[in-house]
Amino acid sequence: MAKQYDAKSIEVLSGLDPVRKRPGMYTDTSCPNHLIQEVLDNAVDEALAGHCSQIKINLFKDGFIEVSDDGRGMPTDVHPEHKVSGVELILCKLHAGAKFSGEDYNFSGGLHGVGVSVVNALSTNLSATIKRDGKIHQMSFSGGEKSKELKVTGEVGNRNTGTSIRFIPDPQYFESSKVDVKKLKHLLKAKSVLCPGLKISFSSEFKKDDKETWEYPNGLEGYLGDEIKDEEFLLKDSILSSKSNEDNSIDFVINWVMNNSKKLLNESYVNLIPTAQGGSHLNGFKSGLLDAIKEFCEFRNLLPKGIKLTSDDTINHAAFVVSSKLKNPQFAGQTKERLDSKDHQSFVSAATKDSLSIWFNQHTEEAELIADLAIESAQKRSKEVKTVARKKTFQGPALPGKLSDCNSIDLNETELFLVEGDSAGGSAKQARERGFQAIMPLRGKILNTWDLESSEIIKSQEIKDLATAMGVNPGETDLSNLRYGKICILADADSDGLHIATLLCALFLRHYKNLIQDGRIYVAMPPLFRIDCAKEKFYAVDEKEKDKIVKELGSKKGNPKIDIQRFKGLGEMNPSQLRETVMDPATRKLVQLTIDSKDNVNAMMDLLLSKKRAGDRKTWLEKKGKIARVDI
């Protein structure tokens, strides 16, 4: 007998239980590196606020990891509302921190009050030692639960302050309990580079004399040379830039190499947190770089006829580090690998363009060499990529499964329909208005691109054909080659069709976000039912709309006969029905994809499609599968 579903079935996770239940939502579970980074970020935030000058990281043979700093030290006094010490509140309660208001930290990486409490939740043992107000305070935890109360264990000078967190990651939550030392050292070096004057020391007992110290009083200067030692740079001195206002700042260093090396350094950071997946700050940097080089080329008439530069052309030979700082950054998730703050992108783009434009005009000879590299890349790309030209009517029909193009080239009217299957594609070709509507049939479910890089997904023939048809490659920010004003996803109204539409939405959200932001992406709403009553006909996109129509028709006098037809798919609809319901601008239903800063769309898509979230999906389906519904 199935368990009764009532109020008793509702489970409320308290304290740190949510972290232990779903560790993958809060940290990278491949190894403990991200736990170290969470503690490190708190120390670096103290440095950013001007209260810390030295951080030490130690790895011990007994499994303990220690991160210590000379910052102000965690608050040890009792919180007036929660009646526990600041130390206990920070380490035992999610979303507890001093970085929400921005009063104590102007720019910070710890934003959600989650990081160090996650470390506590996923550690078998953790102890905190705080030097503050002339005293040494200590507190211990086991499995995330308090094992020893906060107490004073000694005295120090009033100027001797700081925090030391010592913990052992619980191996049950990680694929490997070993710290990736190489990645950790690279991170520590980058943190020191990005925070001038901060001294970071590392030591490990696992390897003899494994000790290193990093300190860069001059910040980014010299960092590229240290990381890329065997490359010949185009510029004798790398371009350095620093711009800021009250809420944002951008620092970057960039240089170009003579050959197309695969060892180029391309790194981006937000509030000193590495963003492996880039985001709005990196997009803004690339956009500003492209605009500056295009402006320089156009002013000096350097571009050959027919050649258009893209952001990929301008960074093809470039090595760079981008460091953004901003108040209240919006990250894609707790691991903070990608920035989603839209307003910051425009600031970075404008600041980058202004800075580079000035430099190019002051160093015209070097700037022409940089422009030559970009032009050479664009020429090479134009030879390799064969763009689909507009098909004329005398050329005959397109090959099955390929693009059936329209005649117009006006973005104000052209539309591309991405249609599920060859059968539906055939009907759509007959239903379309050839003058401005193009049809691109898709064969089944496309590749799940959510976890993949843009450079990887283009290897899929289906996506490559789609990119060629649209005129824009995945990840490309330049929309000057876009061939259609509207790109419409047209899939069946059933669950399989919704799956295909979801995969396409994921493709555009992850790799063509600028198309969504530009208002170019739409989802067509084909009907699931046709209702006939006497000489009238109606279409319904789902059961709810069908029931409403049937109820209204049933209330008419004379009890008219009502016939209901359920479409199995788009291929079952004849061209006239398809034209009326999804293609005729006067009668169709189109939903425009939009992104709002308040939406949790990235988190939801991550739950639905990320390979790393398979366990979370299974749990979600087990708990909510029976009550799940689709609102169309």
Digit-coded pLDDT (tens) for 196-228: 888 999 999 998 889 999 988 777 767 777 777
Are the beta carbons of 417 and 490 closer than 8 angstroms? yes
Q: Which two tokens stand for residue 100?
A: 């929400």
The residue ranking higher by pLDDT, 53 or 575, is: 53
Band of residue 247 on the pLDDT scale cut at 50, 70, 90: confident
pLDDT at 378 over 70: yes
Averaged confidence pLDDT in the chain? 82
Q: Please give the pLDDT value at position 485.
A: 92
pLDDT at 279 over 60: yes
Q: Which stretch of DSSP H or E encloses residue 540?
A: strand 536-540
Are the beta carbons of 371 and 308 closer than 8 angstroms? no
Q: Please give the pLDDT value at position 226.
A: 75
Are the beta carbons of 531 and 589 closer than 8 angstroms? no
Q: Which residues contact 518 (CB under 8 A, 6 or more apart)?
A: 479
Q: Of the residues 66, 340, 476, 492, which is catalytic? A: 492
- Cite the beta strand spans of 398-519 per DSSP E: 415-420, 437-442, 486-490
pLDDT at 612 over 90: no
Phi/psi of residue 223, each to 5°?
-65, -45
Across 231-235, 290-294, 616-620, which has the greatest mean pLDDT?
290-294
Strand partners, 524: 590
pLDDT at 360 over 90: yes
Full-prediction pTM beyond 0.85? no
Percent of the chain with pLDDT over 90: 28
Q: Please give the pLDDT value at position 406.
A: 85
Q: Which two tokens stand for residue 269?
A: 């950071």
pLDDT tens for residues 164-195?
A: 999 999 999 888 889 999 989 988 988 888 88
494 is catalytic: yes
Q: Which two tokens stand for residue 502?
A: 């979801």
Q: Of the residues 227, 251, 420, 476, which is catalytic? A: 420
The residue ranking higher by pLDDT, 271 or 67, is: 67
Handedness of CA 600, 606, 612, 616 (dihedral sign): positive
422 is catalytic: no
Cα separation, 139 vs 149, whole angstroms? 6
Band of residue 59 on the pLDDT scale cut at 50, 70, 90: very high
CB-based burial of residue 148 (10 Å sphere; 0-12 exposed, 13-18 middle, 19+ buried)? exposed
Q: Please give the pLDDT value at position 115.
A: 67
Name the maximum alpha-carbon separation found in the chain: 95
492 is catalytic: yes
Q: Of the residues 221, 494, 532, 584, which is catalytic? A: 494
Band of residue 352 on the pLDDT scale cut at 50, 70, 90: very high
Q: Which residues contact 499 (CB under 8 A, 6 or more apart)?
A: 445
pLDDT at 109 over 60: no
Q: Please give the pLDDT value at position 16.
A: 72
Band of residue 15 on the pLDDT scale cut at 50, 70, 90: low
pLDDT (mean) for 308-328 = 88
Sheet of 123-132, strand order: 145-155, 135-142, 123-132, 162-169, 65-69, 54-59, 199-204, 210-214
Are the beta carbons of 141 and 127 closer than 8 angstroms? yes
Write down the residue that tokens 């109606």 correspond to.
538
Cα separation, 421 vs 444, whole angstroms? 6
Question: What amino acid occupies position 542?
Answer: D
Q: Please give the pLDDT value at position 596.
A: 75
Cα separation, 200 vs 532, whole angstroms? 75
Q: Please give the pLDDT value at position 141.
A: 93
Q: Please give the pLDDT value at position 295.
A: 94
Q: Please give the pLDDT value at position 379.
A: 85
pLDDT at 457 over 80: yes
pLDDT at 443 over 80: no
Tally the C-alpha atoms within 13 A of residue 328's C-alpha that lie toward its C-beta. 9
Cα separation, 546 vs 499, whole angstroms? 22
pLDDT at 108 over 60: no
Band of residue 331 on the pLDDT scale cut at 50, 70, 90: confident
Question: What amino acid occupies position 485?
Answer: G
518 is catalytic: no
Across 316-325, 392-401, 439-448, 616-625, which has the greatest mean pLDDT?
316-325
Cα separation, 253 vs 221, whole angstroms? 8
Q: Of the residues 180, 496, 542, 545, which is catalytic? A: 496
pLDDT at 111 over 70: no
Tally the C-alpha atoms within 13 A of residue 392's C-alpha that lie toward its C-beta. 2
pLDDT at 388 over 70: no
pLDDT (mean) for 127-138 = 94
pLDDT at 396 over 70: no
Q: Please give the pLDDT value at position 306.
A: 81
